[in-house]
Structure 1
Amino acid sequence: MTSTRPTLLLVHGAWHRPAVWNRLRAELDVLGYQTRAVDLPTSGPDARGGMQDDAAAIRKEIAAIGSPVVVVAHSYAGIPVSEAATGLSEVEHLVYLAAYQLDRGESMFSFHGAPDPAETEGMFPLIADPRNSLYADLSDADAEAAISQLVDQRLQSFADRVAEPAWRSIQSTYIICANDQAIPVPLQEKMAGRATSVRRIESSHSPFLSRPAELAALLDEIVTNQG
């Protein structure tokens, strides 16, 4: 490990908590990486705020790490990561793991062609059939354990729009989860077209749980080659 190896900042998706990264963090530790995981305020038993609050939490973690940093965003987290990292010289690469790599003025609602909600207070319902949507390639026991850890998610986080996305000024890699049932592959491929480079992993939506060693090796390759 060299002194210039970046820290990996891991940012969880909707309805999740930072502990969802623990398996991947253990594998990255074996490879010699320092990691940190953000606790997004819009997800949790006391979920609050909106996407900008999540972006502020991400910026705070980046500042605490210093440089260099590679930010890994999963699913919803792509939105606040794109908002948070703009203009931050500490961030040398962005990784979108089956994540929403949105452009200027887009929200999750608008990207899916849905109208903005009239009211953004309250929670967004949990995705349908999380066993198959989020954890299709986990064992029943592991999927049940993962589902038991899911928490509330603020509606506002899905309605807030990106201002100036960081991927327009920072190199990025999109990792397509080829068997994803939460974000269909054609939608991932559409967003991947915005990234500097594209990789694939043969997993469902949550490879940090189902294929942590394989994902760690892929991230190591991305960091080493910067793409």
Structure 2
Amino acid sequence: MRFSVAFILATIMAASENVMAGPPPPPPSGSGQQPPAGPGALAGPSAPPTFLLVPGAWHSPPIYDLLRAQLTQRGFPSVAAKLVTVGPTDAKSQGIEQDVVSIRSQLDPLLDAGKEVVVVCHSYGGIPTAAAVEGRNLKDRVFYADVESTLAAKAVSQILPQSLKSFNDKSSFEPWTAGFEMGYIFAEDDQAIPIDVQKQMQSAFPAGSFTASLKSSHSPFLSMPSKVADTLQQAVDQCAKKP
């Protein structure tokens, strides 16, 4: 089995928290927790990215203690991941699939918190991490791509579970066939629903229906609320002019 000595992959999501100032204590040995950032912390409305450090074969989180101390001095939070295939007890019964699950369990909370994450893997760690990051890049986490980072993080924190049944059920009424005025606002940079799919959906509406286009991602009401309000006003005005 071949693997690179160093495997680095950036998994992008909006950053959400400002870095705290203060003297940087060294990270606790063996823990995955990050101490407060030090004087080198980056200033600005958004936090710097968080590094998720995945060790190689035979190694555990403390192997990254020296590197994490250096990252802290530069203002970067970090988390040292643990591989379940490494350990004195039941590690022999674990495989790559279990490492994938473990890495995801440490990566997903960071992404769900709206953080920008850079994943750094050493040696064997690049193999399970390559699978663990599937579906977790910016293109695949699409709702708030152009939303200001702090606002995006707040929106992420308010996301709730949705029933699978709701996506499989069929609608019982099509208003565009029953005389309703219809309209569609295209989101040109939507990474959830491609523009071609949007146009296909809009094509079901009657000829002359209101359309507008915004250069936004999936949630223009967050990234450009003023333009959305202007567009809605245009839609109302157009409908009002119809006999």
Give the structure-1-normalised TM-score.
0.41
Q: Which has the higher contact order (CA 8 A, sep 6+)?
A: 1
**Larger of the two Rg values belongs to structure:** 2
